[in-house]
Amino acid sequence: MAIGPTWILATAALTIVAGPLALGLAGFISARAPHAAPAAPVPGWRLTAASTLLYVLAFNLTFFLQELALVLPKALTPDLQPTLYHNNHSWEGTNPLAALFQGTGALATLAVGLFCLWLLRRPRPWSNSTRLVLFWMAYCGCFMALPQVVVGALSPGSDVGMAMGYLQLDAGARLGAGLLALGLMPLVALLLRQPALAIADSPAAIASPGARTRFVFRTATLPALLATALVIPFRIPREWLEVVLVPLLVVLPGIPWIQAGAWRTRGAAANGAATAWPLAYLFAAVVALLLFFQLVLRAGIRFY
């Protein structure tokens, strides 16, 4: 195996597996220490259900934005005739710029994710519902884009890999881009810890390392795992590898870091305003989006 892919795979193992495990183990030891605070009440299942549904919405809206950002530049390019689908896009015709525009989807989702992260970290009195929407949009935007850079560094035939090829990036530049993306993943995930904890309704829910760990599990980790299964109906029919792999690639690089680092978050403040989560409205929104994907987008929308 070449040196570049070896470095990327080794770094990926450290950032996705070893790093979160080490940080989480430290949190486990801290929670069991004699001075640790007593267990606090965990959030109710209503919050977990709302967070799950909001993740489903955020993931699919972000994916739709990504594919739209891949299609629109091609639609404005001579000799290209793109079509948007619920889980992909395609085009007819040839133009050298098509390869470059394979990178615009990841660029758009990353921009949206970073913008939502910036909004979350501003000192504004967001409601819990708004905070949770921004949290999942920030997460999905960043972690739908950054893994594509890593894949692009390894695979010239991937979307970002084609854009790198158009830009004539050599092996060293591809390696650097992949390592940079891997380094940004833990940073972004750890920046999302405080916004996740700020969803708490009371200070007692996040008062100790153990309480923070339990709160993040019920508010972010478990919803992300459940929502990964719920995303599948939005993506079929397609090859099962594509149906399952993309949702997993969004969850695996970030959620373990948020969960493992929750105990160590300093200065997190509960929002203090209880929210009656409108589960019926959220469920209706998920169903409506699924129908739009399967009844409208699945047939294909031509942009020519």
Choose the most confident range, by mean pLDDT, from 92-101, 191-200, 258-267.
92-101
Residue 89 has pLDDT above 90, yes or no: yes
Residue 35 vs residues 11, 199, 208, 216, 223: alpha-carbon distances, Å: 35, 26, 10, 21, 31
- Under 8 Å between Cβ of 268 and 198: yes
pLDDT in tens, 15-59: 888 888 888 788 777 666 554 555 555 567 899 999 999 999 999
Report if pTM > 0.85: yes
Percentage of the residues of the chain whose pLDDT score is greater than 90? 70
pLDDT in tens, 177-219: 999 999 999 999 999 999 999 888 888 888 888 889 999 999 9
Strand intervals (E) in 41-145: 81-84, 89-92
Written as one string, the DSSP assignment of 215-232 is HHIIIIIHHHHHHHHHHH
Residue, of 244 and 2, whose pLDDT is higher: 244
- Under 8 Å between Cβ of 48 and 65: no
CA neighbor of 234 nearest in space, from 285, 279, 277: 285
Helix (H, G, I), strand (E, B) or coil at 84: strand
Residue 111 vs residues 65, 107, 137, 161: alpha-carbon distances, Å: 11, 6, 11, 19
Lowest mean pLDDT among 104-108, 223-227, 240-244, 289-293: 240-244
Percentage of the residues of the chain whose pLDDT score is greater than 70? 90
270: pLDDT confidence band, cut at 50, 70 and 90?
A: low
Residue 126 has pLDDT above 90, yes or no: no
